[in-house]
Amino acid sequence: MWFKICFRSIVFMLAFVCAHLIHIKKQMSLRKKNHFTNPICTPNIINPGKYGGIAFDAYGTLLDVSTVLTARAKELKLPNGFVTLWRQKQLNYSWLRAAMKRYVDFWDITMDSLDYTLEFYNRTLTQKQKKYILRGWYKLEPFPEVKSALDLLKKNNQNLYILSNGTPRMLSLVLFSSGLRTYFKSIVSVESVKTFKPNPKVYALLEESVCVPRDKLLFVSGNSWDAAAGKSFGFKVASIQRDTSPGNRLGYIPDFNFTNLLELAKFIQNL
C-alpha cells in the first residue's frame, strides 16, 4: 500500500519536473532564435506593478520612418511621396505574406517594396544608391518626445519591451544608432515565428517571451491596425495617434488614446 503511494508520488514529481524542464528549454530556444536576451520564464511569476510590462511597436511608434528616409530620397532626386508608398508597400507585403504563409524576413520585404516603388515611379538606382537608401532603415531617429517618455517610465521602474516585424539585425542596428537600446529589457522579433503582425502568433510570442500574461501587458502602437490586433489578442492597448486620421473599423477599440508617448508616460506615472 505505502509502496504504491510512494511510487505514484515519485512518478508525479518526475512528470512535473520534466514539464518544467521542457518549458525552460522552449524559452531558451525562443531566446536564441530572437538573437536577443529574453528572460527564462518561471510559470506564475509576474513582474510587480500596475502592468507586468509595457511593450512598444518600433516603426511608427518609437521610430520615425519618414524623416531620414525622405532626406535620403531627396538626395537621390526621387519624387515626393516616394517614402510614403515604399512604407505602404512594405506593410502590404508583410500582411499578404502572413496571410499566404509565405514568409521572407522583413529586410527582404523592405528591398522588394523598394523595387516596387522604383518601378511605380519609373526610376532606377545604382546598387550603391540602393544600398544608401536602404541603410536609412538603420539610421531612423526616435520621435522627439520618445527619450523623455522612456526616461520617465524607467524612473517609475517600468519593465519595457519591443515587439516588432523587424529582423534582429535591423532592430539591433537602429536601436543602437538611435540610442534607445538600453531602455528595453527585451526585444522580440517576429523572426522566430516566421510570420508578421497582425497574425496572433506574433502577439503570443510577446506574451511567452517576456513572461507576462496578456492581461497584464500594456501594448503601445502608433499603427491603428496593430493596436486593434493587440486588443483582439487580449492585451491592454494604448494607441498613439500622431495625426488626425480616423481609427480602423475593426471592432476592437484601444483602452487608451494619446497623441504622443510623453502623454502616455505621464498617465502611467499617475496611476
Just list the catalytic residues. Answer: 57
Helices (H) and strands (E) in the chain, counts: 10, 8
SS3 call for 63: strand
CA of residue 10 relative to chain centroid, distance: 43
Amino acid at 80: N
Among 214, 256, 165, smallest CA distance to 53 is for: 214
Rounded to whole angstroms, how far apart are CA atoms 35 and 191?
10
Burial bucket for residue 98 (CB in 10 Å: 0-12, 13-18, 19+)? buried
To 5 degrees, how large is the angle CA 94–CA 98–CA 101? 130
Which phi and psi (to 5°) does residue 56 adopt?
A: -115, 140
What is the identity of the amino acid at 183? Y
Residue 124 makes CB contacts below 8 A (sequence gap 6+) with 118
Cell of 141: 531617429
- What is residue 135's DSSP assignment? G
